[in-house]
Amino acid sequence: MVKVNDNYQKLPGSYLFSTVGKKEREYRAAHPDKKVIKLSIGDVTQPIAPAIIDAMHKSVDEMGVRETFRGYAPDLGYEFLRSAIVKGDYASRGMDIAIDEIFVSDGAKSDSANIQELFALDNVIAVGDPVYPVYVDSNVMAGRTGTYDPATGQWSNVIYMPCLEENGFAPMLPDKVPDIIYLCFPNNPTGATITRDQLQKWVDYANEKKAVIIYDAAYEAYISEADVPHSIYECDGAKKCAIELRSFSKNAGFTGVRLGFTVIPKALTIDGVSLNAMWARRHGTKYNGAPYIVQRAGEAVYSEAGRAQLKEQVAYYMNNAKVIKEGLAQAGYSVSGGVNAPYIWLKTTGGMNSWEFFDYLLNEASVVGTPGSGFGPSGEGYFRLTAFGTYEDTVEAIERMKKLI
């Protein structure tokens, strides 16, 4: 008799953003007269840049003609894109990453959820707290996290690294030694970053303890300060312990276009087994490549015109971040993040917990944000706002929030 994977039943409630979306829809239905402003999910609002649109039209045309039609893509990605990535993101910053260390995918969310498959089920993961929910949930589904304690909001087999105000909302090295360490810098949800020297300590720690770091650099394009690393491979020894996840969603607005990539250096072996070879096998068996059109769109991200247009787009969102951060700080809110990241991490007011503040903000200001507690227990009492709205909406939302304090 068939049996289900019981681990799914251990997941508490539904996915964070589904709940946020549901509450928003209910509010809209009940208040059709109100203009709701979403500073919640990390979805972008600016259209795809012209250089990328041109590349997509061109590749759509190619698909309509027998001579230039493309069927199955190479499992790991077209060389034109992998080569553009190597040059644009790594060689240009002095890092020596080879084309066959790049794996193109349909996005960093899928990769961050699937990467755990490469590891044994009894490995112990460490995550920041708060954290992007996918890291933990994908490990819950695989059966790696033990039992859930509703009182603490924690799993028995997960090592939590609290991101607290006193350490700038970045995680600290854990007391217990993990096997797999998830790091996200610039951080989602807190917007925190660390310096190259600080990241080097993590790399040294992982190499010493024989742990693997899964480094989520989805927000790399938002880095504005010189001593913040753009890639973990800027650190010595990182190729021996770190996998890097990258996204096109936030630097190029590809949330609905779907493209990302993962870097697994060939030097990263465990007991002689190459993680690069394992991931290649996974791609070959369980994935069929990103669409040709989308890979050409990705290539255009690295073109001269694409770069210039996207620099403007990122500046647009970072101006929103400034509007949020400075506006709320002036009004008396306690805020952090927003300098090297499109996220602002906000302390709730009036002693409200995160979901109370969510409801309060929705009801009093028709503004949707994301409850910090949805990202982990240490997020309780905090709230995430994103800079991905339009400028006009962002200004309006902050004006409304100023009146609440």
Least distance in angstroms from the C-beta of 4 to its own copies: 5
- Residue number with CB closer to its own copies (169 or 182): 182
Nearest to 307 by CA among 221, 391, 185: 221
- Residue number with CB closer to its own copies (47 or 359): 47
SS3 call for 395: helix
Instruction: Say how many C-beta atoms besides its own lie within 10 A of residue 14's C-beta.
Output: 10
Residue from the set 32, 71, 150, 350 that interacts with its own copies by CB under 8 A = 71
Site for its own copies in 361-380 (CB under 8 A): none
Site for its own copies in 317-356 (CB under 8 A): none
Residue 69 to residue 86: CA distance in whole angstroms: 26
Least distance in angstroms from the C-beta of 43 to its own copies: 4
Residue from the set 25, 34, 47, 92 that interacts with its own copies by CB under 8 A = 47
Q: How many residues bind its own copies (CB under 8 A)?
A: 83
Nearest to 348 by CA among 389, 379, 390, 319: 379
Site for its own copies in 77-106 (CB under 8 A): 106
- Residue number with CB closer to its own copies (45 or 224): 45
Residue from the set 26, 79, 96, 117 that interacts with its own copies by CB under 8 A = 117
Least distance in angstroms from the C-beta of 242 to its own copies: 12
- Residue number with CB closer to its own copies (164 or 177): 177
Q: Characterize 333-371 residue by residue with b for buried, 16 or more Cβ atoms within 10 angstroms of its Cβ, and e for exposed.
A: bebbbbbbbbbbbbbbbeebebbebbebbbeebbbbbbb
Site for its own copies in 207-246 (CB under 8 A): 209-212
- Residue number with CB closer to its own copies (46 or 157): 46
Least distance in angstroms from the C-beta of 65 to its own copies: 5
Residue 116 to residue 242: CA distance in whole angstroms: 13
Site for its own copies in 27-46 (CB under 8 A): 41, 43-46
Write each residue from 142 to 181 as x if it is in contact with its own copies (CB under 8 A), else as -, in one continuous string. Answer: -------------------------------------xx-
Residue from the set 133, 338, 379, 389 that interacts with its own copies by CB under 8 A = 133
Residue type, 267: A
Going across the sheet that includes 382-386, the strands are 335-337, 343-347, 382-386, 370-371
12 touches its own copies by CB under 8 A: no
- Residue number with CB closer to its own copies (38 or 230): 38
Residue 224 near residue 339, CB atoms below 8 Å: yes
Least distance in angstroms from the C-beta of 219 to its own copies: 16
Least distance in angstroms from the C-beta of 362 to its own copies: 20
Nearest to 170 by CA among 207, 112, 127, 233: 127
Residue from the set 82, 109, 230, 384 that interacts with its own copies by CB under 8 A = 109
Least distance in angstroms from the C-beta of 247 to its own copies: 10
Site for its own copies in 244-283 (CB under 8 A): 253, 255-258, 270-271, 273, 275, 278, 281-282
Residue 258 to residue 388: CA distance in whole angstroms: 17
Site for its own copies in 286-315 (CB under 8 A): 286-294
Residue 81 to residue 83: CA distance in whole angstroms: 5
Q: What is the DSSP string of 289-348?
A: ---HHHHHHHHHHTSHHHHHHHHHHHHHHHHHHHHHHHHHHHHT--EEE-SSSSEEEEE-
List Cα–Cα distances, 90 to 86, 93, 96, 197, 238, in angstroms.
5, 5, 7, 19, 13
Residue 22 CB burial class (10 angstroms; 0-12, 13-18, ≥19): exposed
